Amino acid sequence: MAENSSQPKKRRLKDPETFRERAIKASDEIEKPKRRQKLNWPGSTLKAIFSPISKAFHQLKTVKQLKPLFVFLALIGRIIFPKYVRTSFEELKKVTWPSFKQSRKLTYAVLVFAIVFGASVALVDWGLGKIFKHLLLK
């Protein structure tokens, strides 16, 4: 027993997390952004105006005598708005749009990158222009 106590105990280290485990853990920790209340744009006023009209229109759809008219209008709508346009609008509704704060930060990042990149290209252009003028005019 005395021999066992004199030997240092081996510490068992935890296996390091894999990249996949860290990614899963990070995605679980990220909360989905909360939907903010929409601003009062003119569109919301138009919605208030056209909402009763839309409800009346949907009530008219239930009338059997008007069914051929609605079938005809649906056919015209499919001709005017091809499937590509309709599915594009459906996909836009599914998009998770960034918040105003995120949009502002990303816009500033793009502007800073564009300015730095433009300045570096201008500096390289100026330097190469000086070098070539010096070499060719000598």
HEC readout, 11-78:
CCCCCCCCHHHHHHHHHHHCCCCCCCCCCCCHHHHHHHHHHHHHHHHHHHHCCHHHHHHHHHHHHHHH
pLDDT at 108 over 90: yes
Q: How confident is the model at residue 107 (pLDDT cuts 50, 70, 90)?
A: very high
**Residue 86 identity:** R
- Looking at per-residue confidence, does 79 or 13 come out higher? 79
- HSE, CB side, 13 Å, CA atoms: give it for residue 39: 4
Q: What is the pTM of this model?
A: 0.38
| C-alpha to C-alpha distance for 114 and 116, rounded to whole angstroms | 6
pLDDT for res 22: 78
Structure tokens at 129: 């222009």
* Each residue's pLDDT tens digit, 21-66: 777 777 777 666 566 555 555 556 667 777 888 788 778 878 888 8
Non-local CB neighbours of 70 within 8 Å, separated by 6+ positions: 61
> 30 phi and psi, to 5 degrees?
-75, 125
